[in-house]
A and B are shown apart, each in its own frame.
Chain A
Amino acid sequence: MVANSSTQNNRLQSQLIGKWWMPAIALSLGGLYLAMQFSATEGAGRESFFNVAHPWSVYVFMSSLVGLLVYGLVRHATLWRLGKDTPESVFANLPHRFKNVFRLGVAQDKVRRDRYAAVMHWSISSSIVVLTLVTAQVAIQDDTPLNFLHGSYYLFFSFYGDLFGLIGLIGVGMAMWRRYFIDFSRIRWDERPEDHLIIVGLGLVLLSGFFVEAFRIEVTELTQHPDWAKWSFVSYVLANLFEIFSMSDNQILWSHSAMWWTHVVLAFSWLALIVFTRLDHLFFAPINAFLLRTDSPGRLSTIPNIEEQEIFGVGYVQDFSWKQLFELDACVRCGRCTDVCPANLAGQPLSPMHLIQDLKGHLASVGPSIQKVGNEGGDTRSVSPISMVGEVIQDETLWACRTCGACVQECPVMIEHVPTIVDMRRFLVMDEARLPQTAQAALQNIEMRGHPWSGTALERTTWMDGLGDVPIFDGTQDYLYWVGCSGSLVERNLPVTKAVFRLLQESGSSFGVLGQEETCNGDPARRLGNEYLYQILAEQLIGTFKEKNVQKVITNCPHCFNTFKNEYPQFDGHFEVLHHTEFLNSQLQSGALKVQHELPDTVTYHDSCYLGRINGVYDAPRQILNFIPGTNIQEMERNMSKGLCCGAGGGNMWQEEVGERRVNHVRSEEAIATGANKVVSNCPFCIQMFEDGVPAMQPDEVGRIEPFDVAEILELAVFGEQDSSIEEKTEI
């Protein structure tokens, strides 16, 4: 059995859900219990609009708000409707989608990835929800035959109304602290006046609410039923404070009335911001959680019947799917995506947040004309005076993307940046044939030679030298060991391939390799935007696999792993796919592989994006390292789902980086900072990037951290230092 590496992550997440919701529920239940105990309050209650003239005007406000919301929705929807159908139906897999709405929309799982924001945002959002319900109950009590707002429930109602008012104010305070008092950059990358309006406005709404209540209590309950008044604990304190002004009853009544109107106007105005500002995420975030893909984030969409398309990829805003357009409106400019983007961290020209905002701006500016021209049957592609790909979004921005998925992982409103970026790359490559020279060389090499490693002096079988008989897969073995282009054609990765081979052999597993018959599975082509080339390669290789009766595949490389596992099913290629770390871990667990040697090392483990974040395999490689006596893991600050890309993803292995720094230098620094003597990964690209980045960041060879693959370390632990492929690195 192979350990399920994603369980730990799920566990962590469910703990988090408990953490934040339990205190609120416990507090409320506690209050309810106390209110029930307070039996002498049978008569507790109040006249809802006791001091307000024309309270019916609230309904005017409310209808206006509903009207505005409908207007806003229609306005947005006309723009979304410019988009095409989504690749998968948004009504497929409904249980999963509703789970997402609860988990990501209501429980705000993603928001909680930043602890401060988690408390702040939950405080604000729960307070808005509860206080809306409080207000609604007053309306129901007052304007329907239902009569429930009295007695114990009234006291409880008073209590939680104040409680969530206070919670809301705490949230607003936290938001203001972060926005006005500390240096917190990501929320200022694209700060707009509305941001102040929202936060200050909400503070005023909540405060005015307390004031209204305090004035009411001062003239009513404070003297008549002080024991009731205490349940509205915030207003009670406030009302007592007002006593020092010794206002007359009339003055208080006048103040109450004025404050009531202020509160109502402020509250409805604030709610109206939903239509005009990013507050719309109140609705869009849960809806986007519903729309979120239910398949793997490692899967890019196919272009069906690619040979019959007139345009390839997305070059015009109307070529996006309506869901991609919808997402643009969901963005709240929180900056989390950009904050974790490896390109941005290295000062390279990509900020996922700005990309989404730029597209949103473009849609708003050209969308209405496109719609008009479309209705008239004109050419919608000639509407925009500037080109979306090239001018609104610059080429180098698209090429800087590592497809590492960090932005997608962090986005609290579930925007999927990566497919959007790749869609535009597809346009650049297939429609415009406009791509960096180095990327072009890699793609052409794949076309001509079936691998991206232009200029390699190695053959697909070079790694087999000195390994004796290497079994060729013939359909009788259990597993196909897929070496991959990097594993066979890049010098540095050969020891890894040898190590995996020897460990597979040692474990007694039944496996074979394809040798000369291996060819690129298409992953780099797909990520670089050449979907056509990808489809040709994928279809060929699936044919080969089927012909050879391949059922189970063990891959060297997490990119091959992802493509076989998540993308080949799109072309009817269904195989059981394991990364070597998963398989080797299972062999250790079962005892088929035995660690014989101690390795006194402190290592840091680097999660490759495509094994870790995108496929959730965090545990298996760590478990292998934990099996080795003497080896300690010292985690980097960014690890697991927050791990930072090595810089090579998304075809950037074959591109020259543009920007202030190189991503691999940034990540190498983080590895060096752990003080470990080895940085261990699971991906041929990551290892190459560390081999390049570490010497640049640590010029002194003495004490330099050394990059290895998990398999190389395990080989040392199983066979000993004298007898490992790793030695070839230092000898000639």
Chain B
Amino acid sequence: MSKRNIIIALQSLCLCLAIFMVSGCSGGGSGKSEDAVKIWHWMTDRQEAFEKLANDYYKLTGVKVIFETYAPTDVYKNKITAAASGHLLPDIYNPQSDKKELASYINAGYIADLTDEMNTGWKDVFFEKSLIANSFEENNEWGVKPGIYGVPLDVSSLMIYYNKDLFAQAGLDPENPPKTWPEFIEAGKKLREAGIQPFVSGFGEAWLIGAFAASYQWSLFGKQGIIDTIDGKIPYNDQRWLKIFKLFEEMKDNKMFASGIVTMVNKDSERTFATGRAAMTFNGSWGVNVYKSMNPSLNYGLMYPPSLPDAPYPLLVFGGDGSSMFVNAESPRKDKAIAFLKWFTEKDQQAYLAKETLNIPSNKESADDLPEILQEFSKSITRTFENLPKLEAWQVTNYININLQSVIIGEKDPVKAVKEIQDEKIRQMKVQK
């Protein structure tokens, strides 16, 4: 074995180790040597507006802020989870999680408590409902210290958009959309008779179908009833749950759903509505910007999900905070990050964001200058779901959403669907015990 061969072998070994080490060090996170505040967001369509504001902030303070956007949301979420495990989280981020998981981030020390900062008057600029999702109450079931942990950048809610031209085509009054469930079904029948698909939504995305059903859950059960259901005191085969499933069955029986709705993602649903292939759609306030880009001449109005005449509680809608940001408690630039968020949520910056992205700003003062349609959404923020001290197990929620799909495609009747959900609830309660 010659000396030359040994040198070649050693060189090969070193090269491999170098590649390995370099690959292990690459990507993500807030590099320790960097002084810029790094933000990870998931809305790629806002990159330009974010960068413009970051530049303004740099000119004003000399602090560099870098926005990095990653889509789709589940990819962003996975990136956050992996970064948390490796202590590589950026200075500002959103874990894209429900309250239970958010509590885990806080308890693990990945999210800073902003209560003191918020109490200096900062919280007063926000819509009250927008702070609920980021706050924890006294004696919450996850053991999180009560306080405010997130900063809402915008707010959103989900309502029904309707196409005024298609309504007129079907002989319906475009300025007087259906307000009650029977009116809604009647409108659906007329639209179908006119050869128009009445209703579309991204029901292939479980959360959207769940959000639509949840409005009726609030309307029939009220807050305490929902808590009692989570606690197992009210079973899922209760008559009121059966009624919710029957609403979907009624829509199916009256051919209200657009073709392929149960596997339709929201993007496809938005395209279907924007191109006039369906008359109504259940979607969020972000849809205003989407429809503008897809079909600027689309003539539409807004309505609440139709109310049930005999419901004991008011009908609320899914919404509150749109996108919120959390400060990394481990970040050496924590103070800079908070200072930036304070500036970012001031009236002028929020007004700019609202104008550029057509979303509802979280700062109440900026909401007055919004276009009419967004002002309607802005008013609906007061009618969004209330804060709950506990959450249903996601497996049960998933069963609800899947069984709603089953009812829509006619695979199951409502009685069988609610029974299966209750069976899953019992399974999950056993697991929790």
Do A and B pair up? The answer is no
Q: Using a CB–CB distance below 8 Å, which chain A residues touch chain B?
A: none
